[in-house]
Chain A
Amino acid sequence: MTHQAHAGVDVIPYTTQVRPDTGLTNPKLGIWLFLASEVMLFGSLFSAYALLRMGAPSWPDQSATVSVPLAALNTVILISSSVTMVMAWASLKRLSLSKYRLYMGLTLLGGLLFLVVKVFEYTDKFSHHLYPSTNNFLALYFTLTGLHAIHVIAGMVVNAYLWMPGTKMWATEPERFTNRVEIAGIYWHFVDLVWIFLFPVLYLL
């Protein structure tokens, strides 16, 4: 088994071209499968939340403990970054690398702002002596938002790569590069979607 493919007969097919009978490229199927496992990961944690909350004799008033305005701001930021992500991909479809750079930059900025707000939220909790060990709500809050933040950071690493060094591929294989941005976008939207669930569950309910 080899770990790199050279040009020629042995190139792995359907990395860029769609396989006619399945209607998919390999990376697109791959990312959806990966996201299926992510659904199971966050699904397990949401189930844990439900089980612990149902079983608890009392539960703190969530919206009084955590900051709803900051979370609402973060929701707006993250959704906006999803929009710019689509715009970045659409720019490549319209063959404009400079517009792509702009929108991808804005997406990265959105991710960064989200994390900055998160840092403010966390430090505010710590300054009020609210830690994961305080109660199970805060434990779930820090675990779920923390795991989500790790996903945001991972997405930003990929996006940052595609924003600058990764664009080399645009000159040689534009279609493949466009697909890469699409794949990164699918992941980014998923991270956004997880937040859409986290926001009501952890802040509003």
Chain B
Amino acid sequence: MYGFTGLFFLLVGFFLVLIIRWSHAFPGEAIPLIGSLLGEANHTANGIPPEFYNQLGAMHGTIMVFLGVVPLAVGAFGNYVVPLQIGAPDMAFPRLNLASYWFYAAGGAVMLASFFVPGGAAMSGWTSYPPLADFAPDGQTWWLVGMMCLIFSSLLGAVNFITTIVQLRAPGMSWFRLPFFVWAQFVTAFLLLLAFPALQAAAVLQGMDRLADTSFFLPSGLVVSGERLQVAGDGNVLLWQHLFWFLGHPEVYVLVLPAMGIIAEIITANTRKPLWGYHLMVYALFVLGFLSFIVWAHHMFLTGMGTTISAFFQATTMIISIPSVIILSALILSLYGGSIRFTTPMLFALGFMPMFGIGGLTGLPLGLAATDIPLHDTNYVVGHFHYLVAPGTIFALFAGIYHWFPKMTGRMMNETLGKIHFVGSLLAMNVIFFPMLIQGLAGVNRRLWDGGAIYEHAQPVLYLNVPMSYAAFGLAFFQLFFIANLIISIRRGAVVDTNPWQATTLEWATPTPPPHGNFAQPPRAYRAPYEYSVPGAEADYLPQGVELEGRGAGTGTNT
């Protein structure tokens, strides 16, 4: 349920950005074929009007992050894989789980419906900065209501995940026998639990500004459309930014950590080696989770908040890159000396690492005030975080789908279609996002309806918009291979036994689909999660839940 709804919203969000890309490459030109489907208000002979462009931008971000990636990474994979990997019969609170799903579905429905209210959907960016958002049409109120639903969903989910992992681990499943994916979900749940309420508070305040005419975010003497606003004033626009980014930055790690968890599972199964530095990676996760709460103002260097505060947030931002580098390095080192199986999920995992690396490294200049100020709000920023989220996190999600599909359905996905999907997506995404870095360094701002055409300084790099957009349409074409693969494989995929990858973790030790209560016999963990290629063992993998005696019984811990 979560999975299909999440994939649906990914597709919706992707569709929105295709229209944006058309407008960037061919501003003022009508969109062929589908243009007329957008309605008269949203599409004319001169392409899409700027008002609609703004809605697309705001809703692309919102839908991709809150309705697509998070529900897939946490809702779908987390819900399905975590109880299986820890040997639990179900999540700790099944009814809360259901409530969480329906809050999510309601939030999604509200967001989609907001396109049809007068004035259209939210158009103040996914960050909804006031004072602009305070005066936006009604769609912004819908956005706030939708976000509230999504926040409730995440909070209930987070409570459920933490309780499940703490309480429902099977006998023998001690903390350091947890698969890395479970650790990643555990830290992610804490981020959701403690960061999201800040946005909840901010949404309440913005709702009051919009509906009860308060001035939480409206300073005195604000002039809108040439008229002085008749409000009480004395508000603070930066209050919103602080509250929003207090959520916003941990949210980045909500997108990233489950992806790292998925990649760790796939790498170990396909290199036939234990995870390199398992303990170190877990500690790094916790440092990452903690630090993510004290870096938020690096999104706000441009607000002139003073050098002392800037220095603090620069320092924490530089420090937080250390645990990220540790985890990524450990994943890369895990490849060393392995006999790698180049399966489709492994290809996506291998693609993830350099792409995520580019995303991370391009983030460093944004973490330092001196370099961030000229780059702020340019396409460089867009390129940077898309490298993290698209060929980073979304690749990890694809990898996870290919990896766990046989667990969910008992059938394999088609390898040929999968490999075409991988190669096409990798090439297309790089052609889309790399030029963004170039444009951004040239000073081209983001969120421009015409892709920067009216600006003198954008002219030398404007030509890049056309190949970027063609690559985006190409990316859409290659997703057809994935969709076709999904549909065909559910019905006709090669039938496999319960453990087609010969993996060690507990989810592969139960029949497919898992019976009522997840396991036929009460599971028990006898050793660390990634006991591959143990010297003296009969096979090159020792499942976590199989008892062995004497030689080759495994070490019990990863070293």
Cross-interface CB contact of A11 among B89, B232, B235, cutoff 8 Å: B89
B90 touches A132 (CB 8 A): no
A56 located at the interface, meaning its Cβ lies under 8 Å from any Cβ of chain B in the complex? yes
B167 touches A24 (CB 8 A): yes
B234 touches A57 (CB 8 A): yes
Residue of A nearest to B208 (CB): A143
A62 located at the interface, meaning its Cβ lies under 8 Å from any Cβ of chain B in the complex? no
Known A-B contacts A37-B193, A52-B234; A12 and B94 likewise in contact (beta carbons under 8 Å): yes
Cross-interface CB contact of A3 among B95, B202, B235, cutoff 8 Å: B95
- Please, which residues of chain A bring their CB within 8 A of the CB of B96? 30
A33 located at the interface, meaning its Cβ lies under 8 Å from any Cβ of chain B in the complex? yes
B268 located at the interface, meaning its Cβ lies under 8 Å from any Cβ of chain A in the complex? no
B216 touches A12 (CB 8 A): no
A26 touches B243 (CB 8 A): no
Give bound CA distance, A131 to B90, whole Å: 49
B491 located at the interface, meaning its Cβ lies under 8 Å from any Cβ of chain A in the complex? no
Q: Which of B155, B163, B202 has the most CB of A within 10 A?
A: B163
- Please, which residues of chain A bring their CB within 8 A of the CB of B167? 13-14, 19, 22, 24-26, 29
B91 located at the interface, meaning its Cβ lies under 8 Å from any Cβ of chain A in the complex? yes
Residue of A nearest to B101 (CB): A3
A96 located at the interface, meaning its Cβ lies under 8 Å from any Cβ of chain B in the complex? no
Residue of A nearest to B170 (CB): A13
Residue of A nearest to B246 (CB): A44
- Please, which residues of chain B bring their CB within 8 A of the CB of A47? 242
Q: Which of A3, A14, A22, A33 has the most CB of B within 10 A?
A: A33
A41 touches B200 (CB 8 A): yes
Cross-interface CB contact of A136 among B95, B197, B234, cutoff 8 Å: B234
Chain A nearest CB from B362 CB (Å) reads 31
A64 located at the interface, meaning its Cβ lies under 8 Å from any Cβ of chain B in the complex? no
- Please, which residues of chain B bring their CB within 8 A of the CB of A48? 201, 205, 216, 239, 243
- Please, which residues of chain A bring their CB within 8 A of the CB of B88? 12
A3 touches B194 (CB 8 A): no
Interface residues on A, range: 35 or more
Give bound CA distance, A44 to B522, whole Å: 44
A-B contacts, CB under 8 A, total: 154
A135 touches B232 (CB 8 A): yes
Known A-B contacts A36-B194, A41-B201; A55 and B234 likewise in contact (beta carbons under 8 Å): yes
B409 located at the interface, meaning its Cβ lies under 8 Å from any Cβ of chain A in the complex? no
Give bound CA distance, A143 to B195, whole Å: 20
Known A-B contacts A40-B198, A52-B235; A33 and B159 likewise in contact (beta carbons under 8 Å): yes
Give bound CA distance, A5 to B91, whole Å: 11
Known A-B contacts A37-B196, A132-B212; A30 and B516 likewise in contact (beta carbons under 8 Å): no
A36 touches B193 (CB 8 A): yes
Chain B nearest CB from A147 CB (Å) reads 7
Known A-B contacts A2-B94, A33-B163; A38 and B197 likewise in contact (beta carbons under 8 Å): yes
A4 touches B94 (CB 8 A): yes
Chain B nearest CB from A151 CB (Å) reads 12
- Please, which residues of chain B bring their CB within 8 A of the CB of A56? 234
B548 located at the interface, meaning its Cβ lies under 8 Å from any Cβ of chain A in the complex? no
Q: Residues of B at under 8 Å CB distance from A?
A: 79-80, 83, 88-98, 155, 158-160, 162-163, 166-168, 193-198, 200-202, 204-205, 208, 212-216, 231-232, 234-236, 239, 242-243, 246, 516-518, 522
Other A-B pairs, 5, CB within 8 Å; known A5-B89, A22-B166, A135-B232: A9-B89, A19-B167, A37-B155, A134-B232, A139-B216
Nearest 9 interchain pairs by C-beta: A10-B517, A44-B201, A139-B214, A41-B197, A133-B213, A40-B197, A132-B212, A26-B92, A44-B198
* 8 pairs of residues in contact across A and B, judged by CB atoms under 8 Å: A1-B80, A3-B94, A9-B517, A26-B92, A37-B194, A51-B239, A132-B208, A134-B232
